[in-house]
Amino acid sequence: MADPTVRLMRLLTLLQQRAAWAGPDLAERLGVSTRGVRRDIERLRRLGYPVESERGAGGGYRLVAGRAMPPLVLDDDEAVAIAVSLRVAAGGTVAGMEETAVRALAKLDQVVPARLRERIDAVRMATVRADSGVVAVDAEVLTALARACRDTVQVRFAYTRADGSEAGERRVEPYRLVTTDRRWYLFAWDLDRDDWRVFRLDRMGEVRATTWRFTPRDAPDAAEHVARGTSRDAYPHLVRLRVHAPATAVRQVYPPTTADVRPDPSALDGASCLVDVGAMDLDHAARHLAWLPWAFEVLDPPEAADAVRALADRLAEAARFDR
């Protein structure tokens, strides 16, 4: 690799791809001697890139965070991925980020070569956004909670219940931020209730990260906890079904955020599965079940089975109507 500029950009790309590199490995990748690698590392440092080096058997070079952000070097696929992600952010999934995402996208669009702009435009032209009911969250709240999770510090915030009433101030140990197709949630240990809780970010107010650090507890799976809380525990009725179809197929209809789908232990061939789905109203649940493309049985509660039978009777009566 004779061109020093090309070699320097290649070196920077390698440093961004791995946490640490041994000098001989970099020399082999770049086609130079280890002394040449050291000279190129010094050039990067003069350009503002903070590259650390350690001697010894376990030593090597690594790119670390600095006080200022020097220019990034992206390969083609990385540039396209970032551009597409910025277009999603510009669409308003995180409140307050739209303008920032648009500015960043404009800067990226200004420097990408024509071949990449064509790929980015192809994705843009082929993609439309439907009104999916996505609830935007405040970017400052999202950032504050993410830092609190990282720094293991307690958080205080005002919270609004589902019925719109004020729940007062909550004190929590934040663990994970979980996003679904529509909303952002905080999975945290509630200090006043001495239990794990899930909080919707769009219902939070006056979020304040404190200086009180906490020792992390043994936490359950945050994504699973949120999925269960938003699919079953959030509703007054829990309908349990046996669906005569493989669990993998049923999960295409019932994602984790709407129901708990698991294999039926009584079906050795995997031809059926068990489904727990929450419902606000059993009559509405019966109408929804009528759309399932597979045979099913209502296992519990009996009132749900009654609602399905009543719907079946109405549909049968309608089918017998003499025109």
Q: What is the pLDDT of residues 8-49, one digit of tens each?
A: 888 887 887 777 788 888 888 888 888 888 898 898 888 888
Lookup: tokens for 21:
């590199």
Answer left, alpha or beta for residue 169, where phi above 0 means left and psi between -120 and 50 means alpha: beta
End-to-end CA separation in angstroms for the chain: 83
Alpha helices in 113-215 (DSSP H): 114-126, 139-151
Per-residue pLDDT at 25: 87
Q: Classify 177 as helix, strand or coil.
A: strand
Per-residue pLDDT at 93: 63
Residue 83 pLDDT > 60, yes or no? Answer: yes
Which pTM does this prediction carry? 0.54
Cα angle vertex 77, ends 184, 105, to 5°?
A: 60
Separation CA 318–CA 9 (nearest Å): 72
* Residue 95 vs residue 150, higher pLDDT: 150
Alpha helices in the chain (DSSP H): 4-17, 23-30, 34-46, 76-90, 98-111, 114-126, 139-151, 222-231, 247-250, 282-289, 302-319
Residues 222-236 have pLDDT tens digits of: 887 777 766 666 678
For residue 299, what pLDDT band results from cuts at 50, 70 and 90? very high
Cα angle vertex 265, ends 264, 268, to 5°?
A: 95
DSSP 215-275: PPP-PPPHHHHHHHHHHTTTSSEEEEEEESS-HHHHTTTS-TTTEEEEE-TT-TTS--EEE
